[in-house]
Amino acid sequence: MKIKIAISPCPNDVFIYSGLITKEIATDEIEWDFTFLELEYLNRAAVHKQYDVVKISYAHFPRVQKDYQLLPCGGAMGRNCGPLLITGGNPFDANLEILIPGQYTTAHLLLVTYLQRVLGPQAEKIKKRFLPFDKIYSALQANPSAQGVIIHEMRFTYVGDGLKLVQDLGENWESQTGFPIPLGALVMRNTLSDFKSLIESQVRKSLSWAYSNSNQALKLCRQHSQSMDESVLQAHISLYVNDFSRDVGSEGNDAIQFLLRMAQ
């Protein structure tokens, strides 16, 4: 059976699934057909049921749960790894718009949580604009008055690029809830329930293969992240690929359920 799967081209995703992408991990029962999309396009694809298995934002799951179910592996969750609210250099101004990497992302939900805490009812008046995450970073670099939420590798580069931190949104989440940060979820079409155990096993075997064959896995990551500095690529994988990637466990499940109640 061919399974259409969509993930992001970010190093953490490519590393986790490298064993399946290279077909080093294979089974006669499943043929994996990979597509690489940026986060907001992954979220939209799930709405339209374009893929059998897809990586989405945890905050987006309530909108697709009638068709998909969460898998306990292959996602992105952790501590000290949340999105950052950044300015182009000037102090934060609540009267200016905030650039956000997707309406239905966990980054947006964590921003709303933070703004509600510090601004109260005034948070509803904040102007927002949703852009791809790389365009947000370019806007922040070009305009000192720009302010936006950055994700992925940008957290490792913003200081060197002269940008200023307003708030670590993940730190705000952790201090308020005590939970790790549920960022990206791997979801599977409900119609594939009979294959759930096999799919989970394949994802975990792929991650084990990546750790055991890190040179090959990292080479694949570089192919999908050609413009990324080597040290940033390594830091990205080290931060976002962790024990939660193999199994979210009870602590991760508690964090997920808390975030989903907020999202709903």
Residues 167 and 125 both lie in one domain = yes
Residue 113: the pLDDT is 94
Instruction: Please state whether the predicted TM-score (pTM) of the whole model is above 0.85.
Output: yes
Catalytic residue, candidates 48, 60, 108, 152: 152
Residue 133: the pLDDT is 85
Residue 153: the pLDDT is 85
Residues 66 and 196 both lie in one domain = yes
**Which residue type, as a one-letter code, is found at position 180?**
P
Q: How many domains does the chain have?
A: 2
* Structural domain range at position 101: 84-177
Query: pLDDT (tens digit, 9 = 90+) per residue, 76-107?
Result: 999 999 999 999 999 999 999 999 999 999 99
Nearest to 140 by CA among 180, 183, 185, 92: 92
Residues 63 and 145 both lie in one domain = no
Final residue belonging to a domain, choices 124, 147, 177 = 177
Residues 74 and 190 both lie in one domain = yes
Q: Is the pLDDT of residue 225 over 90?
A: no
Q: Is the pLDDT of residue 227 over 80?
A: no
Q: How far apart are CA 102 and CA 40, in angstroms?
A: 5
Final residue belonging to a domain, choices 161, 177, 193 = 177
**Which is it for the CA torsion 62, 66, 71, 75, positive or negative?**
negative
Residues facing residue 86 across a β-bridge: 148, 165
Q: How far apart are CA 150 and CA 145, in angstroms?
A: 15
Tell me what percent of the residues of the chain surpass a pLDDT of 70: 100
Q: Is the pLDDT of residue 211 over 90?
A: yes
Neighbours of 125 (CB within 10 A): 10
98-100/128-130 β-pairing: parallel
Query: pLDDT (tens digit, 9 = 90+) per residue, 147-177?
Result: 999 998 888 999 999 999 999 999 999 999 9
Residues 55 and 97 both lie in one domain = no
Residues 24 and 140 both lie in one domain = no
Residue 152: the pLDDT is 86
Residues 168 and 102 both lie in one domain = yes
- Dihedral of CA atoms 223, 227, 230, 234 in degrees, nearest 10, equals -70
Q: Report the CATH number at residue 162.
A: 3.40.190.10
Q: Is the pLDDT of residue 226 over 80?
A: no
Residues 92 and 147 both lie in one domain = yes
Final residue belonging to a domain, choices 177, 209, 238 = 177
| Annotated catalytic residue 236 | no
Residues 189 and 71 both lie in one domain = yes
What are the φ/ψ torsions at residue 232 (nearest 5 degrees)? -70, -40
Residues 47 and 117 both lie in one domain = no
